[in-house]
Amino acid sequence: MDFSLTPAQTDLQERTRRFIADEVIPMENDPRQDAHGPSEALRNDLVARARAHGLLTPHASKEHGGLGLSHVDKAIVFEEAGYSPLGPVALNIHAPDEGNIHLMEEVATPAQKARWLQPLIDGHIRSCFCMTEPPPGAGSDPSMMQTLAVQDGDHYVITGRKWFITGATGAGFAIVMARMEDGRATMFLADMDQPAIVIERQIDAMDSCFTGGHGVVRFDGLRVPADDVLGAVGEGFRYAQVRLAPARLTHCMRWLGQARRAHEVASDYARQRQAFGQPLVEHEGVGFMLADNEMDLHTARLAIWHCAWVLDQGGKGRHESSMAKVMCSEAEWRVVDRSVQILGASGVSGESIVARIFKDMRAFRVYDGPSEVHRWSMAKRIARG
């Protein structure tokens, strides 16, 4: 049993922390962002800074120019990056690109990697992941997928509608998941600048931390050559799992950073703000909330580290990543909610960064499997004994 970081991990942690403090936090009020997220221009600016600091796309393999981080390494770096809402954008480790990179490193062909993966890792383009559908399609239950891929010679013709497609607007390419006529699902790669891909509209999401926001995307008989199938035909649901277990863990990591930020902002405020004759923090009603924050942050960090270690050992981490997703999304949320409460008026407005974290984070309990779906999966494992 060993909870210590290696010197290399400590070094990377400190470098990332400094980068976020020096280069990213000063840009948090940059005007090049709106209700849908940071603009491409702001993103490019941030990415250039991370590149200059050798911190861009650190989770990619060394072969492709990344730092080849293990899951535990990622836990350490991504938490630091998450300390600013703009940090994951800067390091190119945000959803959905982070998970797409991971998946493509596993299953893409060399030609696919050269064409799509490399510029993605280099931060030159963005990608999106087209799986979720509006009712009555595939939401929490992927088996309800309605988007259809019909084979036509050496092409597939994709028809359907997806929504909440993060980063669709402005993305260079998409991974599209569609159901085959035999019920299995397949993933396809497709450039976004095709007439058969229509971004119908931007969704008015509560969060604003993803470049490109979240779009509704329609596939109007998109023709995809068989060469652009990602991995094997019919393996879409399995790949979604390959992508999801680690991808949801990286959400836990990034949001841990933001929860820690909220806690530190609230702690600073509580030390300075007077009320009823003493600093807020000396009121037990406030101090106990901050103590609970520290315990929730501790819980989240330990659950992440443990699951990351399981994945590094080669485990699939189904149970561990479900537990980590629920524990982190709920514990980190409680931290942010308490921080809002302590900050009072500043917490519910742009006067502090915490209101933004609050709005950004709420969806975390929903995406990549809502808490209820993960509890259900755990319960099914328990039922089997």
Residue of 117, 326, 335, 353 that binds a second copy (CB under 8 A): 326
Residue of 340, 353, 357, 368 that binds a second copy (CB under 8 A): 340
299 binds a second copy (CB under 8 A): yes
Using CB under 8 A as the binding rule, the residues of this chain from 29 to 48 that contact a second copy are: 35
285 binds a second copy (CB under 8 A): yes
Q: Give the residues across from 229 on adjacent strands.
A: 188
Residue of 185, 327, 335, 357 that binds a second copy (CB under 8 A): 327
Q: Which is nearer to a second copy, 63 or 204 (CB)?
A: 204
Residue of 163, 173, 210, 239 that binds a second copy (CB under 8 A): 163
Residue of 82, 305, 321, 334 that binds a second copy (CB under 8 A): 305
**DSSP category for residue 219:** E
Using CB under 8 A as the binding rule, the residues of this chain from 130 to 149 that contact a second copy are: 132, 135-136, 139-141, 144
Instruction: Using alpha carbons, list the distances in angstroms from residue 336 to 133, 251, 359.
Output: 29, 15, 10
Q: What does R_g of the chain's alpha carbons equal in angstroms?
A: 21
Using CB under 8 A as the binding rule, the residues of this chain from 195 to 224 that contact a second copy are: 203-207, 214
365 binds a second copy (CB under 8 A): yes
Q: What are phi and psi of 152, to 5 degrees?
A: -145, 95
Residue type, 309: W
Residue type, 9: Q
User: CB of 296: closest distance to a second copy in angstroms?
Assistant: 9
Buried b (16+ CB within 10 A) or exposed e, 266-291: bbebbeeeeeeeeebbebeebbebbe
255 binds a second copy (CB under 8 A): no
279 binds a second copy (CB under 8 A): yes
- Residue closest to 252 by CA, chosen among 314, 317, 204: 317
Residue of 83, 116, 164, 219 that binds a second copy (CB under 8 A): 164
Distance CA 170, CA 384 (A): 45
